[in-house]
Amino acid sequence: MKSLSFIFIRLGVGISMLGHGLVRIPKISNFSSGMVDSFNGSYLPEFIIVPFSLVLPFLEFLLGLMLLLGWHTRMAGILGGVLMLFLMFGTAMIENWGALPSQMIHLLFFIFVYEFNDKNAWALDSIFSKK
């Protein structure tokens, strides 16, 4: 994989995550309520869903920003992958099978970000590693 290909992957998943966070943060209360409602009747208790739903948009925003800047990119790949696994588990618990393909695609891109981080050019990581 060449550097330019990696940049497209990094920026693509970064834009997606940043966008998820940006649109959810201003309406976090409604987002959280909607998430709690969607998990009503699932095996996951509300005392887990509420804090997760309040933190999720900020995690998405932060991961997106890290990827767009190319800052701690390898760690962003790991954290993004773990986040996707949590989201996939929750999605399966409410049988929202339509959302799983998108989450699996995001997971795959986070794997690429982690695995091919040595191609991470045009990034803050590259600038800081030269010092």
Structurally, how many domains does the chain consist of?
A: 1
Instruction: Quote the pLDDT of residue 121.
Output: 86
Mean pLDDT of 58-74: 98
pTM here is 0.94
Instruction: Quote the pLDDT of residue 62.
Output: 98
Query: Domain range holding 52?
Result: 3-129
CA dihedral 104, 109, 66, 32 (to 10 degrees): -10
Give the start-end residues of each E strand in the chain: none
